[in-house]
Amino acid sequence: MIKDVGAEWVILGHSERRNVFGENDQLIGEKVEHALQEGLNVIACIGELLEERESGKTTEVVFRQTQVISKHVKDWSKMVLAYEPVWAIGTGKTASPQQAQEVHQQLRQWFSENVSPQIAETIRIIYGGSVTANNAKELATQNDVDGFLVGGASLKPEFVQIVNARQ
């Protein structure tokens, strides 16, 4: 159906699918593989719950999610990874620019060690936890934040400020 309407990208692994519909890491990995086989580009979402963040398990969670996804990817040029801390989606909370940078940098290191240094340099890792016109500019200054996955703010007039945040 996605291809029938002319779309070229699909978002998989979003927190609502994981936490509301109970989609586990393995199912998301299989969906990623299927979407890629069907010629779609994939934005794969990863992120931790508030209790996982507070108990110091952020990297454990996002590395586990990324590992499962990576087993199903042959062509990384068709992939974008979206770090979306679940505790920051729809709550009005957002990771500080430093928190976002730290996780993105750790993900690049994970890719370097587990996939390849070239993929670590080229994969787009975007941030998607309550991005707004107020925080986009500072988030965009972080070295390893390659862009944003924007939810509700995309429906507001100030969305143009988010689009222009890196300029």
The one catalytic residue in 48, 72, 84, 104 is 84
Please indicate whether residue 14 is annotated as part of the active site. yes
Residues 6+ away with beta carbon under 8 Å from 74: 36
Cβ neighbours for 67, distance < 8 A, ≥ 6 positions apart: 114
> Which one is catalytic: 14, 48, 72, 104?
14
**Do 67 and 114 form a contact (C-beta atoms < 8 A)?**
yes
Q: For residue 148, what are its two tokens? A: 């944003």
| Catalytic site includes residue 34 | no
Question: Which stretches of the chain are assigned E, i.e. beta strand?
Answer: 9-12, 41-46, 79-83, 124-127
What is the spatial distance between Cα 33 and Cα 44, in angstroms, rounded to a whole number?
A: 11
Q: Is 77 left (phi over 0), alpha (psi -120 to 50) or beta?
A: alpha
The neighbouring-strand residues paired with 83 are: 46, 127
| Per-residue buried b or exposed e for 23-55, using 16+ beta carbons within 10 Å of the residue's own CB | bebebbbbbbbebbeeebebbbbbbbbeebbee
Active-site residue set: 14, 84
